[in-house]
Structure 1
Amino acid sequence: MAELAVVDDRHYQRQLQALCAERAEPAFLSTLRGAGMARFEQLGLPTRRQESWRFTDMSGFAAIAFERASPAPVAADQIPAPFETDPATR
């Protein structure tokens, strides 16, 4: 069986750093993102050794370097109004 290539260990950490660098987020959100990344680095991707994932083969994900989606420019008038103003919800 051929071995899968594994994504660089710091790939997702660099993705998070790039995201945080380009956004002006509240400190609490940056803290939550950092905690989430620390947890991901601690646990890694799920494996079949974990009961909840025993029937799911996640090995293919280790070979994919997922990238963030590029920002899509949207003007404020293109964003739909909240659902509360839709007559169908009244």
Structure 2
Amino acid sequence: MIASTESMRRAACARSENQDLPWIAEDPSPLARALMARVCASCPVLATCALEVATTETTAGFWAGHDRTVWRDEFTTVQDTLPGLELPASNVVGVAA
């Protein structure tokens, strides 16, 4: 969230050419995240947006150049703690009735 209405008017994400990007989607594609990060990198209110995100509970959406979706962070953390985890193959053989 941007601190003021005036800041929002100047935000790069509010420009008509960027409004179709999935800023609040729960699962944007890697390409969409890269495009949004590029928009944020050149945003005139990036610092204000980053401050707002740092001082408010933000659990979803793409803000200040990063995907803030909480479930994605939790999934990545779990996935990172289990590198190379492979379940053993099942040795169960089907039985014909």
TM-score by length of 1: 0.22
> Where is the strand percentage greater, Structure 1 or Structure 2?
2
Which one has a bigger Cα radius of gyration?
2
TM-score by length of 2: 0.21
Q: Whose relative contact order is higher, 1 or 2, with alpha carbons under 8 Å and at least 6 apart?
A: 1
